[in-house]
Chain A
Amino acid sequence: MLTNKRWKYSLFLIKNSKALIMGLALLIFVLCVTFFGPLLVTANPNLVNLQEKLLPPSSGHPFGTDMLGRDILSRIVYGARNTMLAAAISVVIGLFFGVFLGGIAGYAGKKVDMGLMRSADILLAFPTLLLAMALCAALGPSLEKAALAVGISFIPSYMRLIRSKVLSVKEMEYVEAARAIGASSWRIFSHHVLPNSISPVFVASMVYAGFGILWTTSLSFIGLGAQPPTPEWGLMILQGRDYVLSGQWWVVAFPGIFIAIAVAAFNLIGDGLRDILSPKLRIT
């Protein structure tokens, strides 16, 4: 009965958040493109046809063709999978290691905290995109490695976020109670402190997923991420950029619109969740 009421209340909150509804709608659209798009778009994304190069949008090619005559719509649809995968990899890496290390720093305190957080400070002294760029160069150019590099550069921010939350949660009475009945440190950390500290991290993850897409496509754009002929949105913009000044705007325009839609979806969901979970919580 109680769970039913809670569920209804959650639904009520979701219904009242325009940002969340809009964000979810956009995300569902992007996910549909990712999973069902390849079933509908039958053109081969890598099929080179030089006789049809740089054709403007038409009924045969709704988004036109690129400099090798490849269908842009088809490349965007197949590229969605790559971009969403990159976003997922970067967030999972940042989330997992950030929560683990930041949680330990906050919970253990003293020297462990000092050591871990000073290391995080060194990483935070780099602008995020630059750190990702350098790491990506070291790991070698590929989309997965670019996503890994972006994920690593997220770790220190996640660490800070979870650490500050853990510091306040570990002073709570229920933690003291658990200690009083003889629970081990690890049990207190994993069963009490971490689960109660994690909600702001999940909200932040939505924003980081958006950043993940922006930074991995940026890395592809400077040649460090996805490599040709992979259909990837950032790389498509890089390849189309030389044709902009001769008037073939569609090669660049459409992939960018899809990046913006995907990032906006995560930003809106993040905003909506933040308003619902805690009106005073802020993510920077």
Chain B
Amino acid sequence: MIPYKYILFRIIAIFPVVVGAVTLMFIIMRLIPADPVLMLIDPAHRTPEVIASMRKAMGLDQPLYVQYFSYLFNVFRGDLGYSWHSGHTVTEELIMRFPATLELVTISLIVCVLVGIPLGILAGWRRGKMADHFASGITLAGLSLPPFWWGIILIILFYFFIPLCPAPLGRISIGVNPPTHITGLYLLDSLLTGNTVVFVDSFRHLILPVAALAFFNLALLTKLQRSEIAEALESDYIKTARAKGASETTVLFKHALKNALLPTITEIGLIFGGLIGGEVVVEQVFSWPGMGRYAVDCIQFVDYAGLQGFIIVVVLTFTVVNLITDLLYAFIDPRIKQ
């Protein structure tokens, strides 16, 4: 039976968190010790009249609580406001940049899952053996190398010394036209339109950023998965299975994995959050035209609506992913079905 009540409760519970996050962001942005009005006016034209009329046009002459409630009201109507420094609406800006970020984060997540989980399982299963030491080395390196530095080192190695990858300047080579816009994800769009040239080109552009972004989170996932397996293998039901004469592969695949993979589902939510955070820094290194670079620009230009809009999208995505992983966990694990 599907626990509709629980699902409904969890969906409703998203709202206070998002409103809280928006409120917090609203306050934090107003604390930035720089005046957005002055950022937009050329120093030569900064007369009091110009400043006052600009302030009025931007709605900043209203009391703070009026600004807050009108912002909140507009957000619920789907209007994220106007991005002062770019001259577009925030929704336009984010829609334009979301696919680039989504592509980078999704491919990195897939790499994390496909490499991190098997590596963690292997390390936990062969504890203290060669495979475990190898995985420990990878984990330690991944968790210790700063992703932005690692990205630059990858560029030095695989662009400068051994030119295997294209220049770290965006999603596609100059001179190659982006594929017909369907989803905005270049890999998917070029596949759908059968454009192999663009597919190969955008794939090559993804290799280094994904390697830089995924490494840290892959290491985290390996570490978590290793301890899940190691703990499962120490438990009583494994001893029982072994006592009954089950082979090691049966023990691992039929008994240990079933239990150890469950918590991994919620950990994937955690990894997703790590990827979104890390993506902001990695986008800087690879001039990736995603939301992270826009967010950093917004901070520099004190663009209130821009950064607030970015945070709403990130918090909403992160919360929904966590909700999905929690529900999936509850759905798969028969013990929590109640």
Chain B binds chain A: yes
A binding-site residues for B, Cβ under 8 Å? 118-119, 121-123, 125-130, 133-135, 137-140, 210, 214, 217-218, 221-224, 234, 237, 241, 244-245, 247, 249, 252-253, 255-256, 259-261, 263-264, 267-268, 280, 282, 284
- Contact of A252 with B307 in the complex, beta carbons under 8 Å: no
- Complex interface residues of chain B between 202 and 218 (CB less than 8 A to chain A): none
Option from B281, B284, B318 in Cβ contact (under 8 Å) with A125: B318
- Contact of B152 with A252 in the complex, beta carbons under 8 Å: yes
Q: Given the known A-B contacts A127-B314, A133-B280, are A138 and B31 also in contact in the complex, defined by CB atoms under 8 Å?
A: yes
Q: Given the known A-B contacts A133-B280, A221-B281, are A214 and B17 also in contact in the complex, defined by CB atoms under 8 Å?
A: no
Contacts of B79 in A (CB 8 A): none
Q: Given the known A-B contacts A138-B32, A252-B149, A268-B140, are A130 and B280 also in contact in the complex, defined by CB atoms under 8 Å?
A: yes
Contacts of A284 in B (CB 8 A): 224, 267, 270
In the complex, what distance in Å separates the CA atom of A114 from the CA atom of B271? 26
Q: How many residues of B contact A (CB 8 A)?
A: 52
Interface with A: B2-10, B153-161, B240-248, which one? B153-161
B327 interfacial contact with A, CB 8 Å: no
- Contact of B296 with A222 in the complex, beta carbons under 8 Å: yes
Closest CB in chain B relative to A248 CB, distance in Å: 10
Q: Given the known A-B contacts A222-B284, A224-B299, A264-B140, are A134 and B155 also in contact in the complex, defined by CB atoms under 8 Å?
A: no
- Contact of A122 with B17 in the complex, beta carbons under 8 Å: yes
Contacts of A121 in B (CB 8 A): 17, 20
A-B contact count (CB 8 A): 139
Interface with A: B21-29, B39-47, B66-74, B176-184, which one? B21-29
- Contact of B143 with A210 in the complex, beta carbons under 8 Å: yes
Most A CB within 10 A of own CB, among B16, B143, B285 = B143
- Contact of B227 with A218 in the complex, beta carbons under 8 Å: no
Contacts of B300 in A (CB 8 A): 223
In the complex, what distance in Å separates the CA atom of A264 from the CA atom of B224? 17
- Contact of A133 with B299 in the complex, beta carbons under 8 Å: yes
- Contact of A267 with B315 in the complex, beta carbons under 8 Å: no
- Using an 8 Å CB-CB cutoff, how does the interface string of B127-155 with A read, 1 for contact, 0 for none? 00000000000001101111111101101
In the complex, what distance in Å separates the CA atom of A245 from the CA atom of B152? 10
- Contact of B152 with A241 in the complex, beta carbons under 8 Å: yes
Option from B17, B144, B155 in Cβ contact (under 8 Å) with A263: B144
Nearest neighbor of B159 in chain A, beta-carbon distance: A245
In the complex, what distance in Å separates the CA atom of A133 from the CA atom of B17? 19
- Complex interface residues of chain B between 268 and 326 (CB less than 8 A to chain A): 270, 273-274, 276-278, 280-281, 284-285, 295-296, 299-300, 307, 311, 314-315, 318-319
- Contact of A140 with B33 in the complex, beta carbons under 8 Å: yes
Option from A125, A224, A237 in Cβ contact (under 8 Å) with B152: A237
- Contact of A214 with B146 in the complex, beta carbons under 8 Å: yes
- Contact of A263 with B28 in the complex, beta carbons under 8 Å: no
In the complex, what distance in Å separates the CA atom of A253 from the CA atom of B285? 14
- Contact of A127 with B143 in the complex, beta carbons under 8 Å: no
Nearest neighbor of A123 in chain B, beta-carbon distance: B24
- Contact of B231 with A280 in the complex, beta carbons under 8 Å: yes
Option from B144, B155, B159 in Cβ contact (under 8 Å) with A267: B144
